[in-house]
Structure 1
């Protein structure tokens, strides 16, 4: 008797990719929340009772946001650049208020083009990652954050007054570089010893037009192409191995190569970019 195997629909696969992106967004936002709570509890400006009360308020607010933001982000196709920047300021407000880092915000122009949700999420995550790195390093005392939009790209500038030895190859820049690369953007770092560093990021607002399939652009082998198509179909490693007659470890090897060649962070993003 013939049997059929149900595979995820394109809509289901898109939803899975969106949820993966949303999970990364939540992780970044709530890392900032935890740093903010610690800054409040350690603040010499507050009594113990006031610090506990403020920490509870911040944690409660984050919990409410966790419960409501999923639906908001899923439904938001575009975000006005001013609104996206205001959300970033809101994310960082407790850390700015009670931490030792002086964060200055330069507002984007109100006439700037609306941002695709993925670009807005990535830009906020990039800035949060950079600010947390400055907090951990404990060297910079002032950070200046600026957004602008030239109609085709979101321009993000982050400048600190640290030692001025930051490089695009530093470990602190790796997660930022990965996020920028996932959106086909560019990242540059300009440092002046003793005067600080400036991170310059350009994020395209429109997806690139491809003249050839992604598989051809990335130099993917015939076997990797077979694995990629099954990943796009939502198959597990075991299912892919059974279909192609190869071991699960071999499938994992091919998937790892595909992630590196295409510049994806996980299987969901790999499938989304391939589609």
Structure 2
């Protein structure tokens, strides 16, 4: 586990007071739980860790690092199921710096007491609804706040770190979630836009009386249409990244590494009008180039490395080559780890190493997820109810939400999920979601 940068975390000391000589064991356990939590449960672990210092009815993390699931939530179901990206975006825009803010804000379509903090490095936002201070555990309210800030910064940094590393499991789950979010959003936008256009057409009709009322209603509907389209564009922005911007982020990420290596690194930019990259592809591409660069710099006699991105409309094309003596082993474990990232996105990696001429690595990452026939899932021999549960599971719903949608108990959902895992030959929700979506089940 990589520790967060010291300068990004507040000191665990009371304001103006002496350094705390020793941390209580429960706090150390909470720090470890947050630091080691997978992305799927980090919100729940953070809420548990914060509860002794800052209680809440619900906790929401909004981070654009995770393109598939920008919200990570725990707490009261009526809040976490209703909170919207638009509400979080508006709240984040109103905050400046990283200092905590307490006030009233609209969350889950209702104005509520809120505690909010940003993490400037990744623009992540923490929101606690109905905040309460059960302590002061440390005997000092300011010390409790310092601990809360430390835990939040730790969680935000871990999210940023995990996404940047782009492990295969994350890429699979993120691609599935991104595709489902975009599909559902597009359907909702089309449905509501059609309804509003019909209403607007009726209100513009000359057969109706009261021209002033008709004009006012028409203007209201027009604004609602613009708002709806804006939300649709915002969703697209969250799950896609312009290729030129993604490449610039790569160059910035590698700057500290290349500045002191003594090796010249040449960056060949992609075309500015290249197709936008799905978020998981952009994350994977940066992690792959970073890994290749590290592997190449580890060779003797390397003086120059060239990294190039291109886009053919269907794939992101990556090429990294060095001018070394060709000592990089094509079957090296470091390259194997990178190849697993590539395979997670149905891509291909080719490694050519020639003695005396250096290494040349080409990677092709498809921009669209492969489509497979839903009929292929028949091999799993799922019952009709199990198939229903899997469809809800594949869309990212939790057991409680699935139980409510199917009008069954949460224990029954857990029973079906266990059977589904066994029949599919998987051991986790991430694997089940990725496999289901790869077979076209959404």
Q: Normalised by the size of structure 1, how large is the TM-score?
A: 0.59
| Residue in 1 that maps onto 2:182 | none
Rounded to whole Å, the distance in 2 between the matches of 1:151 and 1:188 is 20
Give the one of 413, 422, 426 matched to 1:258: 426
Rounded to whole Å, the distance in 2 between the matches of 1:158 and 1:255 is 41
The alpha-carbon deviation at position 135 of structure 1 amounts to 3.4
The answer to whether 1:172 aligns with 2:344 is no
Rounded to whole Å, the distance in 2 between the matches of 1:212 and 1:256 is 14
| Residue in 2 that maps onto 1:204 | 366
If asked which structure has higher relative contact order (CA below 8 Å, sep 6+), I would say 1
Instruction: Identify, as 1 or 2, the structure richer in helix.
Output: 1
C-alpha spacing 1:267/1:169, structure 2 compared with 1 (3 Å):
farther
| Residue in 2 that maps onto 1:83 | 245
| Residue in 2 that maps onto 1:123 | 285
1:1-275 → structure 2 map (5 Å cutoff): 16=40, 22=66, 64-66=120-122, 68=124, 76-137=238-299, 140-166=302-328, 168-213=330-375, 215=377, 222=381, 229=390, 243=415, 257-258=425-426, 267-268=429-430, 270-275=432-437
CA RMSD, 1 decimal: 4.4
Q: Is the contact between residue 241 and residue 276 of structure 2 (CA under 8 Å) also seen in structure 1? A: yes
The alpha-carbon deviation at position 166 of structure 1 amounts to 3.9
The alpha-carbon deviation at position 179 of structure 1 amounts to 1.0
Q: Is the contact between residue 189 and residue 199 of structure 1 (CA under 8 Å) also seen in structure 2? A: yes
Q: Is the contact between residue 166 and residue 189 of structure 1 (CA under 8 Å) also seen in structure 2? A: no
The alpha-carbon deviation at position 162 of structure 1 amounts to 2.7
Higher deviation after alignment, 164-173 or 191-200 = 164-173
The alpha-carbon deviation at position 128 of structure 1 amounts to 1.1
Could you tell me which runs of 5 or more consecutive residues in structure 2 were left unpaired when the two chains were aligned.
Answer: 1-38, 42-61, 68-118, 126-155, 164-234, 400-410, 438-442
Rounded to whole Å, the distance in 1 between the matches of 2:301 and 2:332 is 15
Q: Is the contact between residue 424 and residue 432 of structure 2 (CA under 8 Å) also seen in structure 1? A: no
Count of residue pairs the alignment pairs up: 207
Structure 1 residue ranges, 4+ long, deviating more than 6 angstroms after superposition? 69-74
Q: Is the contact between residue 167 and residue 189 of structure 1 (CA under 8 Å) also seen in structure 2? A: no
What are the superposed Cα offsets for residues 50-85 of structure 1, whole Å, 9 maximum, x if unpaired?
Answer: xxxxxxxxxxxxx84245497999962221111110
The 3-state SS of whatever aligns with 1:258 is coil
The alpha-carbon deviation at position 103 of structure 1 amounts to 1.3
The 3-state SS of whatever aligns with 1:146 is strand
What are the superposed Cα offsets for residues 75-124 of structure 1, whole Å, 9 maximum, x if unpaired?
Answer: 62221111110010010111111223321101111121111111111111
Q: Is the contact between residue 142 and residue 160 of structure 1 (CA under 8 Å) also seen in structure 2? A: yes
C-alpha spacing 1:90/1:189, structure 2 compared with 1 (3 Å):
same
